[in-house]
Amino acid sequence: MRLPAGEGIRIASFATASPPFVATQEYAKDFLVRHYSGRLSERSRSLIEKVYSHPSVMKRRFAFDSPLCLIDEDPDSRIARFTRWAVDLSEQAACAALKKAGVTADRVDGLVVNTCTGYICPGISTYLIGKLGLPSRTQAYDLVGGGCGGALPNLQLAAALAGGRRGGIALSISVEICSATFQMGDETSLIISNALFADGAAAAVLGDRPGGFEVVSSSSHYAPEHRDDIRYIHKEGQLHNQLSLRLPGLVRKAVSRTVAELLEPLSLRIEEIKHWALHPGGERIINAVKEELGLSEEQVIPVRTVLSEFGNLSSPTVWYVLEEIERRGIESGEWCIMLAFGAGLSAHACLLRKG
């Protein structure tokens, strides 16, 4: 469907922000082996060796000063670390995006923040209103529970907020501190998650402004019957990531339907979409989406690059991929689809056109 209140709304600018601690996969593997081998089965230790040596991910960035804080981190310390870094990285990304757009904080009318890796009340949005100096009248929303796909429902809402008043400006911010959900055990889901996920934030400025990307249309698809295939569950007061081995096939089906519902009303074909900002859920998922949509290897180089250099940052990662697409070059008038999927099971797509 075409965005109801966002016609003519553009992504004027966007920016990403990553924490300073960088860990190679070799470093991360050695850390786990050193501190957790005694708690793990022989099978788990063998799986760690296998997944951490996979070439699809080379390094990741984390929101801590030292990984030692992860060892038996208590819930109070964990939520404090989440709050500190989620607010800080969001502020960094927002400041950079506002500067790129040439927009001052007092011009912002709407703010939407999404995260799935920590819960605080009041939400991150209220911290940012103060830190960024946004007007007290700002319409602010905190979205939770969207998982890796959360950035695109956020974008839909932010576009509607920006389009709700003449000259409106909205900030769309996605931030995840996946390390704040770190757990170690023999479950395959935990081992794979610990080898894949990382931390980061992204912010976009939306408004009726020249240049940037026009937000043309969006679509979403939910398959609640597959809720347990990708979700967080609570164990002993902590979040545990749960990922099914069926996920690539499930994502493949959801993506096909979501993209079809996005393009058909506009009489566009997949072949007309040159650029694809895909969420990098992992190499198997990238390959499944590539095959289902008939994309070329060149079209998935940006998503493979982000997965290699940053890992899976959950919801903000799709913005990192769009950033990589811009870095490689996108011409005025060319189409781009942002495509993300996550908890629900859900899939979301946004059709953009470069200004």
Q: CA separation (Å) from 243 to 50, 152, 225, 249, 353?
A: 17, 21, 15, 13, 33
Report how far residue 350's alpha carbon sits from residue 335's, in angstroms, rounded to the nearest whole number. 11
- C-beta of residue 57 within 8 angstroms of C-beta of residue 307: yes
Report how far residue 319's alpha carbon sits from residue 213's, in angstroms, rounded to the nearest whole number. 13
With CA atoms as reference, report the closest residue to 20 among 86, 90, 89, 83: 89
Q: What are phi and psi of 204, to 5 degrees?
A: -130, 145
Report how far residue 195's alpha carbon sits from residue 179's, in angstroms, rounded to the nearest whole number. 11
Which active-site residues does the annotation give? 148
CB-CB neighbours of 247 under 10 Å: 19
CA angle 30, 241, 342 (to 5 degrees): 120
* DSSP state letters, 313-330: -STTHHHHHHHHHHHH--
